[in-house]
Structures are given as C-alpha cells and as structure tokens.
Amino acid sequence: MKEKGKAKKDHDTKGIPVGKNHPLHKVASRGNIRQLRRLLKTDKELLEQVLLNSRDDTGRTPLHHATQRGSLEIVKELVNFGADINAPDATGCPPVGYARAPEIQEYFYDKGVEEFDDLNNELHLAVLSNDINEIKQLIKSTPSMMEEGDYAGNTPLHLAVMLDHLKIVKMFCTHQANLEVQNNDGHTPVFYANKEIRDFLLKSGAIDPQHTSLHIAALNGNVRKMRRILNADAQALNAEDLSLNTPLHFAALSGNLDAVKLLVEAGAEVNAYNEENELPIDYTTQQPEIRNYLLEQGSVDPECTELHIAASEGNLSKLEEILDSNPEAIDEVDSRSNCGLYYAAAHQQRGAVKFLLDRGASIDLINEHQINMVEAAKEDGQHTPLSKYIQNKIKLSKDKLDQIYNKVETLLKEALIKARAENKKLLIVLGETHHTCKIAQIERIIFKAAVNLGITTLLGEYGEDEEHGWPEITFAKKVLGMETIGVDNHIDKERDPCSKRGIKNRNIMMAKEASRINKDAVLLVGSDHLKGLLIEKREQINSDQFHVVPINLSSVVPCASGQLNSFQFDAENVLQYEHIGGEPRIEKMDSTEEEEEETEMSDAEESQEQDIRFEPNDSEEESEDAPPPGSFLAKGTIKCTLF
C-alpha cells in the first residue's frame, strides 16, 4: 500500500488545490444532485480554481467520491462540467477504479477512460452481482478469496457492506471472514456499514474503528487516564464513534460523576445527539446526581416539561397552577410524545390522573413507542389498579359495542351480497391509528362480524413470522381463529417505511399481495395508507377483483399536540373515503354541523360526552362526488366520528 498524504502542498504542479476537503467533495460523496448543481452554477470560483479536479488528503477528486458513492447522476454532472475522468488518487487509482456499479463502469469506458485493472477476483464479482449461489460455491471451493483485496484494498466483505447486502455479510461472518482487515484507506468493513449491518458486525466481534482511547477510558470511568488523554489531545473531547456517541455519552453510561464533570469542565458538548437521537443525559435515568448535574450545565431534558414533572410527582396544586395559566399545556408532549397524563399514569399517580382527566386530558393518546395510557400504568406488563381504572375509562360500554356490532353486521351483509352479485371478493379495509384502546375494541367487533359472515382472513402490516406486538392481530388469530397473513413486511424491505416513498411502496406491495391471495378478507392498515390504496392508480386495490368497504377509524381518537404529522397521529383532519377512485372528504374532529345533518341522535346519545357512530350510506341517488362509470362505490361506507 502506498503511503498516504503525499500531497500536502496547497497546489500541485498544475495549480490544482490538493490536501483540502472542499464542500464539493462532501456534496459529491453524499450524492446530493441539487446541492451539487447549485455549487457548480453559482460558485464561479470553483471552476476558476479548478476545484472540480481538486484532491483531498488521500488524493481523490470529487469524481472519485461520486463514483464510490455509486451515483451515476452525480458522476455525469461532474464530467459534464469538466472533471478529469483519468485523475489518479494518491495510490494511482483513477475514478473508474472506485466504480462498483456496472452502469458507472460502462459510462466511463464509453467516455474513453484509460483501461484499468481493478484486480477484482471472482468473489468480488459475485458480490457485485449479488449472486448468492456463486458466493456459496466460491467460499466453499476457495475460502482464501475472502481475504483478497481489489485495487483499493477492499475485500469481498468490504464490498458486501458497501452495497448493504446484509445476507452476504452474514454469510462471510459465518465463514470466519476477517472483520478487521483494512483497505487502502485504512478502513475496516464496519466503517462503511449502515446501521443494521453495523449493529450485526459489532455484535459479531468487529471493533468500532472510531472508538478513541478517550471513549474507552470514559466508559470505564478511568478519570486519571481521561485527564492524560485530554492533556495530550484536546481534539478527542467531542470525538464521535460510528454511532455518533461522544466520550460524554460513555461517561454518563459509566455512572461516574467525576468522569462526567471532567469532560464537561473541559468543554464537552452536553447536548450532542447520537445516531439514536439520544443525549448523554438519556443514559442517566438511574443516576439522579449525574442527571441533575447535566441539567445544571445546560443539558436539554428530553423527557419532561414543568407539567410532566408535576404530573409524575402527583403535585395537584402545581398542575392546577400550570393549567389555569396555560390550558393548552394539558396535552403537550415531550420529545418522545409523552404527555402529562402519561407521566401520571407511569408513576402511579392516581390523583393526578383523575385531575388531568377532569380537566380534559386526552385519554387515547399514545407515544412514539406505541404505548397507550393503559400500558403506561401497568407495572412489569401486569395490570395495576390504576391501569384498570384507565381501561374502564377508555372502554366503550357493552350496549354501545352491541349497537356497533349490529350496524357493522348489516353493512357487511349488504356488501357481501353486492360483492357476490358482481362476482367479486369482499375486502374490508380498516384504516386505524395503531395501539389505541378504543379503536382496538371496535376492530375486534368488526373482526367478529366478518368471521360470522365467513370472512376469516386478516391481512396486516406485519411479518408472517412475527406479529410485532399487535394484540388485535393476536386476538383475531388465537381467539377468533382467523388466518393472519402478512402483506407488508416493511420491517425487512423498507429503510424508511413511514416516508412518502415508503408508504407508496408498501401500498403497492399490499395491493399486489391482496390480489395474489384473492380471498374475502379484512385488510388492517394505518390510516395514512388509505389514500394510496383507494385513490392513487399505481397503489390502488384492484376494483375489478374486489368489492371494497373502506373504514377510517382514526377519527375515534384525538391528535397529540405537536404530533399532527407523525405516523401514528393522523386524526386531526380525518380523510373519509366513499369509494375507490373517488375524492376524499375532510372531517374535522370538533365539527358538529355535518354530524347533525347525517343523523338524528336520541336524548340519551346527546347526553354522552363521547359517542361513536357507524352509519351506512343508504342513499341510492347520485351525488356530486359519485364515482365515474366503472369505478367502485362502497355502498355502506362506515363513517366514524368523535363528538
């Protein structure tokens, strides 16, 4: 391996800047095409100083970085602006030597790049092709190939990690591949890993290459060694490992107050977030002395507001004072979506729970970990008197559930008759806010009505091998005997399942799987999937195959303050759908005008603070929102309204 860092001058013999990491290098490495174009078009100095071909401290140009990133769009943009396709790095490797994507290699050779032998062996090529069978055969026949590097020193394991091939990484680890082998840049495979692969490699024995001696000393609470390290290298103070943990994170985890104080007094950042969005103070839940010290030093307390503290302590006079001056604070949430009622429940403060409920606290809210108030009030997963009290407060009465069942059964009978008349399967699409008690009750009623009509299949957003803690699915499977089928295994297949792109991809998957299964069924999804499944053409359920009854249950629960855009809180403005291909209607939570027009309520119903209405749409007349000929109209769409 050639010695690095040869180019230490400001410019080489051609006047090209070297030895500096310019923003252009970072943009090219990140693959951000918009930012790249903005830099190239607006920063004329870039071109004047020939920064397109500038080299970082390893001799690589922005084109090297873009090529290694695997972004053909960035590569083309740089070449079009004049980047040198044959520029060698400090080891003599041109950009094409970093190309792992076949389309980028082909692009370079079409541009007339000089021939380059990248020294890939057969196992490298099998990894690049994601050829599992070939990899198995090569490992068996020639295991030594696992240790061979290409021109950049990358072993097949390096490549598998770079390409996010977890299955291949696991194969190499099973066959004892060297986890600590370094490439020409001095990086081991774990350096290039995404979080999932990194966690696997670290559990398999890989060493985090960015763990400094200060990290280790801080974790061990070795104050003397920490002081020596800081005296020799002040830059180590806020060094981050691959998970973005600083030495202060480790010191807080160690429980050693002196270690924490040493770092803070030396200037450590107390509000540094790691990859899991955790602060050093998050590691002090069992260390109140360290926690208080960090708060005194300006640490953000991610867990509680003034109201949260009062609720957790059962301080009723303080709660009254806060809410008298700021009534809107009652449902305010912390960074984990915990509200004051959650804190009172979790700390078994029955008086505070009653007080907050009397003042109008929302009992249906759940936090970002999908924990509702009943679960919060349990201890070690077991019911407490307080959890039972909250559950009884949330529960709908037996009479109300019976009313719901009768209306649902009538609706589904009519829908099933219509489906059979059209020679279609019946698909009941339930849009919900996950893990809310009230919705769970209604879902169970719908499941029972479906089973009694012979609809015994439940399609859900979960893996076939694991139910991911959905009690409703467990109930359907174990109590009602429904066949439960996972049609959205996004935990394995989507990196960002709740993004717009992730939702779309999952909708396409669910619609295809429902068509493949081709049974009368209930499809259980989050309400934010409804628009795609019912409206968007590419994501839409096949209306030629299914008679669909869409039911949006999310209006049963309120929305947490500050969480209007979060995945689980989608009920502030509830979209109700009448049919596939139709336009959604927005129903606001507090609106009563539409509700009064839709039905006449009895005196008993009017006296209730909360009521849930399921009303079939019996109108035979065409409305302005009627679907076009050939599209599906779910006659009897259920509309759920909280009032």
pLDDT (tens digit per residue) in 83-130: 889 888 765 678 887 787 889 988 998 998 877 766 667 898 788 778
CA pair distance 553, 612, nearest whole angstrom = 10
Provide the CATH topology of domain 306-394. 1.25.40
Q: Residue ranges of the alpha helices (H) in 111-206?
A: 122-128, 132-141, 156-162, 166-174, 195-203
Report the range of poorest mean pLDDT among 129-138, 167-176, 334-343: 334-343
Q: What is the mean pLDDT of the chain?
A: 77
For residue 25, pLDDT over 90 is answered with: no
Length of the chain in terms of residues written: 643
Report the range of poorest mean pLDDT among 33-47, 316-330, 521-535: 33-47
pLDDT tens per residue, range 469-513: 467 888 899 999 999 988 886 655 556 677 788 888 888 989 999
pLDDT tens per residue, range 217-262: 998 899 999 999 999 999 899 998 888 899 999 999 899 999 999 9
Residue 319's pLDDT band (cuts 50, 70, 90): very high
Percent pLDDT > 90 in the chain is: 33
Task: Provide mean pLDDT across the span 299-309.
Answer: 80
pLDDT at 439: 83
Q: Which of 342, 278, 274, 272 is nearest to 304 (CA)?
A: 342
Provide the CATH topology of domain 122-203. 1.25.40
Report the range of poorest mean pLDDT among 331-340, 441-450, 575-584: 575-584
For residue 638, pLDDT over 50 is answered with: no
Torsion angles phi and psi, residue 595, rounded to 5? -65, -40
Look at strands 521-526 and 573-576 and give their pairing.
Answer: unpaired
Token look-up 């509200």 returns 339
pLDDT at 464: 44
Higher pLDDT, 79 or 598: 79
CA pair distance 302, 249, nearest whole angstrom = 15
Report the range of poorest mean pLDDT among 7-21, 68-82, 352-366, 538-552: 7-21
Torsion angles phi and psi, residue 321, rounded to 5? -60, -45
Q: What residue segments make up the domains of the chain, in order of their start?
A: 23-110, 122-203, 213-296, 306-394, 398-639
Which CATH architecture best describes the domain 213-296? Answer: Alpha Horseshoe (1.25)
Higher pLDDT, 277 or 566: 277
Look at strands 457-460 and 425-432 and give their pairing.
Answer: unpaired
Task: Provide mean pLDDT across the span 632-639.
Answer: 35
pTM: 0.44
Contacts of 280-288 with C-beta under 8 Å, sequence gap 24+, read 280/246, 280/248, 280/249, 280/251, 280/252, 281/252, 283/249, 283/252, 283/253, 284/252, 286/255, 287/252, 287/255, 287/257
| Within this chain, domains 213-296 and 306-394 share the same CATH topology | yes
Higher pLDDT, 29 or 134: 134
- DSSP per-residue codes, 283-345: G-TT-HHHHHHHHHTT---SS--HHHHHHHHT-HHHHHHHHHH-GGGGGB--TT---HHHHHH
Report how far apart the first and last C-alpha atoms of the chain are (Å, whole number). Answer: 72
Torsion angles phi and psi, residue 377, rounded to 5? -85, -10
pLDDT at 629: 32
For residue 565, pLDDT over 70 is answered with: no
pLDDT at 43: 53
CA pair distance 96, 116, nearest whole angstrom = 8
pLDDT at 366: 82
Highest mean pLDDT among 11-20, 390-399, 512-521 belongs to 512-521
- DSSP per-residue codes, 135-146: HHHHHHH-GGGG
CATH superfamily of the domain spanning 23-110: Ankyrin repeat-containing domain (1.25.40.20)
Residues 6+ apart with CB under 8 A from 30: 69
pLDDT at 336: 67
